[in-house]
């Protein structure tokens, strides 16, 4: 199993709800994507990211399928346009 976690700092936190909805809508649409969860930060500290994506995928191959899947690719412009910083980690368990 692979865990794929991404955190974004946004230009305008008002975009967070749409990003959350669009990313969570990927659940059940992409083969190998076991779980997807998106959280919006409430603390709003200087160190905080605004949005976090937590996902579980069957394998490294499933992560590659997820990243290239048209449903995922369609969300990328929204997120890239809203984000000023992105941090990601992928690891196997």
Task: Provide the CATH number for the domain around residue 53.
Answer: 3.30.70.100
Q: What is the pLDDT of residue 83?
A: 98
Q: What pLDDT score does 53 carry? A: 98
pLDDT tens sequence across 28-79: 999 999 999 999 999 999 999 999 999 999 999 999 999 999 999 999 999 9
Number of independent structural domains in the chain: 1
Domain that holds residue 66: 2-92
pLDDT bucket at 88, cuts 50 / 70 / 90: very high
- Please choose, from the candidates 81, 14, 79, the residue with its C-alpha nearest in 3D space to the C-alpha of residue 53: 79
Supply the pLDDT for residue 90.
98
Q: Taking all residues of the chain, what is their mean pLDDT, rounded to a whole number?
A: 98
Burial 49-74 (b: 16+ CB within 10 A, else e): bbbbbebbbeeeebbebbeebeebee
Over residues 5-12, mean pLDDT: 98
- What is the pTM assigned to this prediction? 0.95
């Amino acid at each position: 199993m692979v865990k794929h976690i991404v955190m974004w700092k946004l230009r305008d936190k008002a975009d967070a709800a749409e990003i959350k909805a669009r990313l969570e809508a990927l659940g059940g649409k992409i083969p190998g994507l076991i779980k997807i969860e998106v959280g919006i930060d409430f603390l709003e500290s200087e160190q905080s990211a605004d949005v976090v994506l937590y996902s579980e995928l069957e394998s490294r191959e499933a992560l590659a399928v997820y990243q290239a899947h048209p449903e995922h690719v369609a969300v990328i412009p929204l997120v890239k346009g809203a984000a000023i910083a992105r941090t990601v980690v992928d690891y196997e368990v």
